[in-house]
Amino acid sequence: MNSTVEKCLKNQQAYVEQLKIALLNKYAHTEMVFPSGLGNYRDRNSVYHSLKRMAKGTDFEDMTLHKLRHCNATLLLNSRVDLKVISEHLGHCDIGVTANIYADVLQKQKIRLADTIDAKLSDELN
C-alpha cells in the first residue's frame, strides 16, 4: 500500500469512527470500511450515484464503475505490473480471462518491446 492510499484509508477510518459515535448502537455493520450514512452496506446504485456526483463538472462525467475498473487495469498493465498480479487484483478466475480482455493493451506492449529490442540492437551494430 502506498502512502496516498494509507492516508485515504486513515481519513475514512476517522469518518467511520465519527459516524459510529453519532449513530450509537444503530450503526449496522461495524466491520464496514465504506459504509452508507447509516452504517449499512452500500448498494451498486449508491456507489454509482456517488461516482456521478463526484465526477460532475469534470472531464470524467461519463465515467462508470466499469470504465473505472478498466482504466485501473490498463494503467497497471502500462506500468508493467505482472499480468498475474493484475488478474488477482481484478478477481478474475484465471490469468487467461485477463489476457483476453486486455489483449489490445498487451499487443501494444509487444510492439513497444519489439521497438526497444530493435533500438538496442541498432545501437550495438552502430
Give the residue extent of every domain in the chain.
1-42, 60-126
Q: How much is the pLDDT for 11?
A: 93
Q: How much is the pLDDT for 39?
A: 86
What is the pLDDT of the chain when averaged over all its residues?
Answer: 88
- Angle made by CA atoms 122, 125, 126, in degrees to the nearest 5: 85
Q: Residue 124: is its pLDDT beyond 80?
A: no
**Total-model pTM:** 0.62
Per-residue pLDDT reduced to its tens digit, 9-64: 999 999 999 998 898 878 888 888 888 888 888 888 888 898 899 899 998 899 99
Residue 53 is which amino acid?
R
Instruction: Check: CB of residue 121 under 8 Å from CB of residue 113.
Output: no
Q: How much is the pLDDT for 46?
A: 86
